[in-house]
Amino acid sequence: MLHLGLDFSRKRLDVCVLDERGEQVAVTAASPDADGLRGLVRELATYGGPVHAVIESMTGARFVNVSMNRETMRRRGFVPYGPSRAGAEALSLIMTEDLRPYGIAVNIVLPGGATPTRMVPEELPEEARATLLSPEIMGPPAVFLASGEAEGLTGERIVAKDFDAWLTRFRAAAR
């Protein structure tokens, strides 16, 4: 789960990365601009497992929960990871409604396919490995959700590989 509480007047965003048990994995910082957020997404992608990152802010908090496709959530052998992602999506939906009155946004982003993480077996053939999505695919939707254009946007489930089409629909609806 990636919690974004962005105050762009800050000179940097302080980030505490937690694992699924709530134990601290790393402490880092990013600049509050597109390059800094892309770098943060790349850094978080290197952890490979369910990562919880917290960026603290007092106002305008935005939660971006990272998920997976629903078929993988139910795939044989994906216990406990699959059900934990299903639970995170349910939590996101509840958080959306509970936090909406406070102006806090909650959205879900998923890659839209397999990415090279520790979940991918080492024996995966090279031709199959070549079809894996780059973790950087998560960058554009995360940067968008942290932008002013996404102000007030909550309750969305964005598939990163389809982000351009999603963004076109979003902008057309906003006109």
Over residues 54-99, the pLDDT tens digits come to 545 445 678 888 898 888 888 888 888 788 889 889 989 988 888 7
Q: For the chain, how are helix, strand and coil distributed in percent, rounded to 5? A: 40, 20, 40
- Tell me how many domains the chain contains: 1
pTM for the model stands at 0.68
**Nearest to residue 162, comparing CAs of 143, 145, 138?**
138
What pLDDT, on the 0 to 100 scale, is given for residue 3? 45
Residues 109, 2: Cα–Cα separation, whole Å: 10
pLDDT at 156 over 90: yes
What pLDDT, on the 0 to 100 scale, is given for residue 82? 84
**pLDDT of 87-134, one tens digit each?**
889 989 988 888 787 778 889 999 999 998 877 888 999 999 999 999
27: part of which helix (H) or strand (E)? strand 24-30
Please list, in sequence order, all residues whose beta carbon lies within 8 angstroms of the beta carbon of residue 146, skipping any fewer than 6 positions away: 4, 6, 37, 62, 64
| Percentage above 70 pLDDT, the chain | 74
What pLDDT, on the 0 to 100 scale, is given for residue 5? 47
- Please give the residue that has the higher pLDDT: either 17 or 159: 159
- Please give the residue that has the higher pLDDT: either 22 or 162: 162
The CATH number for 31's domain is 3.40.50
pLDDT at 51 over 60: no
Q: Which domain holds residue 94?
A: 2-174
Residues 175, 171: Cα–Cα separation, whole Å: 7
What pLDDT, on the 0 to 100 scale, is given for residue 43? 74
Confidence of residue 165 (pLDDT cuts 50, 70, 90): very high
What pLDDT, on the 0 to 100 scale, is given for residue 107? 94
**pLDDT of 127-145, one tens digit each?**
999 999 999 999 999 989 9
